[in-house]
Structure 1
Amino acid sequence: MRILIMANYANGLFLFRKELLKSFLDAGCEVVISVPPDENCKKLKDYCTKLIETPLERHGSNPVKDYGLFKNYKRIIKEEKPDVALCYTIKPNIYGALACRLKKVPYICNITGLGMAIENGGLMSKVLLQLYRISTGKANKVFFQNERNRQFMQSHGIACKNSGLLPGSGVNLTEHPFREYPGEADGIHFLAVIRMMKDKGIEEFLEAAKAITSEYDNVYFDLVGEYEEDERAKYEPMITALEKDGKLKYYGHLDTVEPVMAKCHVVVHPSYHEGLSNVLLEAAACGRPILCSNIHGCIEAIEPDRTGYTFEPKNADSLVASIRKMLTHTEAERREMGRLGRTYIEQSFDRQLVIDAYKLELEKIRK
């Protein structure tokens, strides 16, 4: 079987889907990957038989460039002759899926999140929803990562008869083993692993860091993630100032977050929207209590008041209140919250569940 993978970010495939790709190769399949060119493409060399660097603007809405992407996908399908295509994220789910539909190639879409362009409503939302209706109409399966996203799309006539639900991207429980909760004698560390962009809640996290470190002498804030270049000018000075004042440690982009997560005590995720947060799944797998936005895509990863707490998105005061609530617990209580979180992930979010779901769909197509 020749499988074409279309995605918008090489590192996302590597971090969250390499086990799926390896399972295809192990089964004797050919795996062709189409992603935009960047320094992360080299990470995928052991997980495919061919990689095609395909220009794609992740956040742009230029119709000329998007039409060029659609033509590129049609050309790739014509040249590579895949037996099936797997599409991830908005533009591959629209333009890649539409190319598959026109070329009569079986395809599976994975809607990892709705994105602010749809969430915010307006003309752009209407255009995207119409494109989704067309592109996913003949999909063999349209996977969603949380029930709220599925219900929203189905209420707009999308994937009403061909949907499925996945436990996000799942967690590799071997790569993300349980880590003993570190002692708090030298302070309590709150960690966020997010891209430096408004939609991920970076402003609220920085405001909370400023407020809490002014109130508590033994609380520290850590931050991991890369800048979205079009928002760097806004957030880099804020982060640099907090670092200079000793209120924040910024690690930048890390290929492996595990060592930093293992040293922290609580993971904070202030995102405005998610399909299902991989950061939260990995944090709970590591055995850390969680504080997250009260939105679908985050709340699935915790058992509220048992493995963590939620706060209102886009609300720094609510985030600060949840941090204060976490700080009312003893070290032993926070340690137990983390242990319960690991058990919850083991039961519900093993990445093998995702691999099995895809294998089942591919068997249907093969027949």
Structure 2
Amino acid sequence: MRVAIVINKSWNIFNFRLSLVKALLAAGHEVVAIAPEDAYSARLVAEGCRFVPLPMESKGTNPLKDLLLVRKFLKAYKTVKPDVILQYTIKPNIYGSVAAKLAGIPTINNVSGLGTVFIVQNLVSKIAMALYRFSFQFPAKVFFQNSDDKELFLERKLVRESITEVIPGSGINTQRYLPAPTFKRQEPFVFLMVSRALYEKGLVEYVEASKILKAKYPQIRIQLLGAIDEEGNIGIKRVLVEQWAKEGWLEYLGTSDDVASVVHGADCVVLPSYREGTPRTLLEASAMAKPIVATNVPGCKETVIDGYNGYLCDVKSGADLAAKMEQVYHLSDAALQTMGQNSRRLAEEKFDEKFVIDRYFRAIEGATGKVARHIN
């Protein structure tokens, strides 16, 4: 079969869907990546994909302008002629679904997170929901990454329950992301947040927590790894991130293609996000046996059993975030190690990518009526 994978960034396919790509290729299928061209497009080709560029703004919120994307998707889908299309992120999910219906090709969609349009209620969010309601008539399957997102779509009558299913995010390769051979508590203690510099990721609250903690424990290291994203009004300006770093509240590490090595150097991974699908960064941290502090919101709360492998904090509360980070800081070496081992156990039992890949192969078979099983 020819399988198209459509996302708003080639980077996204390479970093989050590469295991699925490899499984499809190993099963003898042709994989076509359809996305805007970036530095990772050639790397997808090197892995065995065919690549078809399709420019789109990942953050644009002009529905009239975005409607023109239907024509772009339709042209790509008619050119590629896939047997099935796997779509991720809001624009492929909405406009790609309409184009695929016009082209007569079955789709499997993945709601990997609700994003700003569901966090902020305004005219744009109302239009987005109307577009979801229309376009989600067409997919053969819609995967959600947590039960809360699925229930929200069902409550607002955006999708039929019969085509929905919950999967554990993108899953995590527990053979690639491994704990360090020996446990070591960092001196001084290191908290790490892996995220783009966005307001909705809770970075402001992370800095607030840093100020509280550093007043008591000035030696603690508070780190941020991730890109600065100044698009629209959801990204935090570089000048502000640099100001926080200059004032000593934050160590800004920039970006890295080797996130695992940075995570290995941390004692605890933190994500104070306002809402997620299932955050990949926390799955990676779990697989590498790191305790986690995250907000008690959809997506994040699925990755943390409070008191078992980390702590849940109140959303948009720098004070409560600081309190939970302080609890981790005061754990004994043995308790800190146990909490990390519990994270690893959750990754193996709940979030291993083999569960996600298997569900995709079953969905492809259901959508196409063809055998798609991957080779173990």
TM-score w.r.t. the length of structure 1 is 0.95
Q: Find the counterpart in structure 1 of residue 171 from structure 2.
A: 170
Aligned counterparts of 2:38 and 2:49: Cα–Cα separation in 1: 18
1:273 and 2:275 matched? yes
The whole-number CA distance in structure 2 between the counterparts of 1:82 and 1:71 is 17
Asked if the contact 1:190–1:221 (Cα under 8 Å) also holds between the matched residues in 2, the reply is yes
Verify the 8 A CA contact 2:205 2:318 in the aligned structure 1: yes
Residue 25 of structure 1, CA deviation? 1.2
Structure 1 pair 235/181, CA: closer, same or farther in 2 (3 Å)? farther
Please show how residues 219-230 of structure 1 align to structure 2 within 5 Å.
219-230=220-231
Post-superposition shift, 1:259? 0.5
Deviation string, structure 1 residues 108-144 (Cα, Å, up to 9, x no partner): 0000011121232333222212211221212111000
Q: 1:122 to 1:272 in 2, by over 3 A?
A: same
Aligned residues between the structures: 367
Question: RMSD value over aligned CA atoms?
Answer: 1.8
Where 1:161 maps in the other structure, the secondary structure is helix
- Stretches of structure 1 that go unaligned for 5 or more consecutive residues are none
1:270-321: CA deviation from partner (whole Å, max 9, x where unpaired): 1111001111111111011000011010111111111100111111111111
**What residue number does 2:66 align with?**
66
**Counterpart in the other structure of 2:24:** 24
Distance across 2 between alignment mates of 1:16 and 1:302: 20
SS at match of 2:162: coil
Match of 2:128 in 1: 128
| Secondary structure, aligned partner of 2:342 | helix
CA contact (8 A) 2:177 2:284 kept: yes
User: Residues 185 and 49 (structure 1 numbering): CA distance in 2 closer, same or farther, change over 3 Å?
Assistant: closer
CA contact (8 A) 2:63 2:127 kept: no
1:244 is displaced (CA, Å) by: 3.1
The 10-residue stretch of structure 1 (23-32 or 210-219) with the greater mean CA deviation from structure 2: 210-219
Deviation at residue 181 of structure 1 after TM alignment: 6.2
Aligned to 1:290: 292
Q: 1:120 to 1:247 in 2, by over 3 A?
A: closer
User: 2-side partners of 1:226 and 1:341: how far apart?
Assistant: 26
Partner of 1:366: 369
Give yes or no for the alignment of 1:148 onto 2:119: no
* Residues 44-123 of structure 1: pairs in structure 2 closer than 5 A: 44-123=44-123
Q: Counterpart in 2 of 1:34?
A: 34
Equivalents in 1 of 2:63, 2:302: separation in Å?
A: 35
Preserved contact between residue 188 and residue 219 of structure 2 (Cα < 8 Å): yes
Output one character per residue of 1:207-246: Cα deviation in whole Å (capped at 9) or x when no partner: 2223212220331111100011336995423332343344
Larger mean Cα displacement after TM superposition, 126-135 or 348-357:
126-135
- For residues 33-82 of structure 1, the C-alpha deviation after alignment (integer angstroms, 9 at most, x for no partner) is 11112222222123443211211111112234312221110001111111
Identity of aligned residues (%): 34
8 A Cα contact 2:199 2:235, kept in partner: no
